[in-house]
Amino acid sequence: MNILPVLLPTDLLIFVLVLAALALAVRARRHAPSREAWRRVGERPTAMAAAVVLLAFAAVGFLDSLHYREQLPPGQGEPAAAKPLYSSEVLSALDALLAPLRLQTEKTYSAPFARQLFQRETVERPGGGQARIHPRLVHGARHLQDGDSLLADVAWRLAWTPLAALAASGLRLLALAAAVARARRCHLDAAARLVLAGRTTLAWRSALAVVFIAVLLSAAGVALATHYHVLGTDKVGQDVLYLSLKSVRTGLVIGTLTTLIMLPFAVALGIAAGYLGGWVDDAVQYLYTVLNAIPSVLLIAASVLMMQVMIDTHQQWFDTAAQRADARLLALCAILGITSWTGLCRLLRGETLKLRELDYVQAARAFGASGAAILRRHILPNVMHIVLITVVLDFSVLVLAEAVLSYVGIGVDPTTISFGTMINMARAELAREPVVWWSLAAAFVFMLALVLSANLLADAVRDAFDPRRVSRA
């Protein structure tokens, strides 16, 4: 089927961010101090494991950023040469890969691996009368007869998944062993033993273990998700596994784009206040003190509601509902960025106050260097470790912030799938008996994996890039 590529604003920003990350990786490889710092990060097994998990989440988010619209079939009696029409529904490459999960919707709730709906319904009996039963699902476990064993079917379908995980891990081990053998000029089998024994410079063994687990879970999902609702369905019958994977992009967008919006304010105002002092320092301090005095949720709520009113009154700006939801997501990122720069600004101001009194800064000033040159060549490079550490730490905070804001109704658009909207939809079902727990549990597990991985990597980055920790080591 012909498609029309769609480039949403957040898609463009994600692509720019990926290119910038690749450029920074190339620069770090050529810059000896940066290469040494990242080597220290890679020496920690927890950091390598967390990096693999984050790369997996990034791959899911990138696939979900390749958007398109499908061409509609020509209407009855319409000439074939007419201008093609495209659906108003915006899909992504991830939607295409997860088409069975997206399209196989049920009537309402169903538990993980269930054959029947979670709720009873009144049905007519063949011989007359009515009965309250749990109807069979339309898609989930439809291949099973009433007497078939679900456990035996699941075990049979999972039988090949360990072999797939071992094969993928073996290929990865072979590639790593070839790289180690080339670097150390040894045989391939010796390099493989070094990787498995954990005696390489980087902690490749922990990365391989996480790759094995990730491939095992992915293979299990491929084997089961087309036949069962592995994580159940929500109130409107959508597959919870599909919703969880679609929520990854929203979390990544909130965590990364908000940080990029926040950085220019924090860096520029922080180092300017610390180096220039005087009325500039007073003005910056007054500005972030006032912002900190306003309750953050109240400020964000007011800003989001104002943006929502503007979006609702200018519907002609958007061709599809996805573009309108993406505009609200981008507005939320901007609002969070503008309101969350004060902490990093305060840190950079304090560090700059210390740096401007050091000998090399005083010498540059004595030789007639301009203030802009001193800030660019001496101050900014020596505060970048604080910037990098704060960026990684704030990522997890912002992912959690989206969930909290969506929970209270001032987050992303209701049509945007996110962890916060999943939690918001599940909260009303926690009071029922029996409890509908799987939507909340799925959002919790995915958020835990994302945030925990970001925090573990942040700890390693902090230890590697903080000059005081490095000097003590």
The tens place of each residue's pLDDT in the chain, 473 residues long, gives 588 888 888 888 888 888 888 888 888 888 788 888 888 888 889 999 999 999 999 999 999 999 988 887 776 555 555 677 778 888 899 998 998 888 888 888 888 888 888 877 777 777 767 777 778 888 888 888 877 788 888 888 888 888 888 888 888 888 888 888 888 888 888 888 888 888 888 888 888 889 889 888 888 888 888 888 888 888 888 899 999 999 999 888 888 888 888 888 888 888 888 888 888 888 988 888 888 887 777 777 787 778 777 877 777 777 777 888 888 888 888 888 888 888 888 888 888 888 888 888 888 888 887 878 888 888 887 887 788 778 877 777 777 777 777 777 777 777 888 888 888 777 777 777 778 888 888 988 998 898 888 888 888 887 787 655 554 54
Q: Do 216 and 243 sit in the same domain of this protein?
A: no
- How do residues 439-450 score in pLDDT, each as one tens digit? 888 988 998 898
3-class DSSP assignment, residue 181: helix
Domain that holds residue 180: 144-225
Write the CATH number for 276: 1.10.3720.10
Report phi then psi at 86, rounded to 5: -120, 150
Q: Do 360 and 459 sit in the same domain of this protein?
A: yes
* Residue at 5 is within a domain: no
Write out the two tokens for 1. Answer: 């089927």
Domain boundary among 173, 197, 225: 225
* Residue at 2 is within a domain: no
Q: Do 301 and 395 sit in the same domain of this protein?
A: yes
Q: Do 264 and 197 sit in the same domain of this protein?
A: no
Q: Do 301 and 348 sit in the same domain of this protein?
A: yes
Report pLDDT for 468.
58
In the chain, the number of structural domains is 2
- How do residues 57-81 score in pLDDT, each as one tens digit? 999 999 999 998 888 777 655 555 5
* Residue at 185 is within a domain: yes
Instruction: Return the closest-CA partner of residue 98 out of 210, 211, 217, 238.
Output: 238
Q: Do 221 and 334 sit in the same domain of this protein?
A: no
* Residue at 102 is within a domain: no
Domain boundary among 225, 252, 279: 225
Report pLDDT for 103.
87
* Residue at 429 is within a domain: yes
3-class DSSP assignment, residue 141: coil
Report pLDDT for 80.
56
d(CA 387, CA 106): 47
* Residue at 156 is within a domain: yes
Q: Taking CA 326 as the corner, what is the angle to CA 324 and CA 330, rounded to the nearest 5 degrees?
A: 120
Residue with token string 């954990």: 198
Q: Do 254 and 209 sit in the same domain of this protein?
A: no
Q: Do 436 and 310 sit in the same domain of this protein?
A: yes
Q: Do 204 and 260 sit in the same domain of this protein?
A: no
d(CA 391, CA 223): 38
Q: Do 207 and 265 sit in the same domain of this protein?
A: no
Q: Do 158 and 305 sit in the same domain of this protein?
A: no
Q: Is there a contact between 247 and 423 (Cβ–Cβ < 8 Å)?
A: no
Q: Do 157 and 280 sit in the same domain of this protein?
A: no
Domain boundary among 225, 251, 286: 225
Report pLDDT for 391.
80
* Residue at 317 is within a domain: yes
* Residue at 276 is within a domain: yes
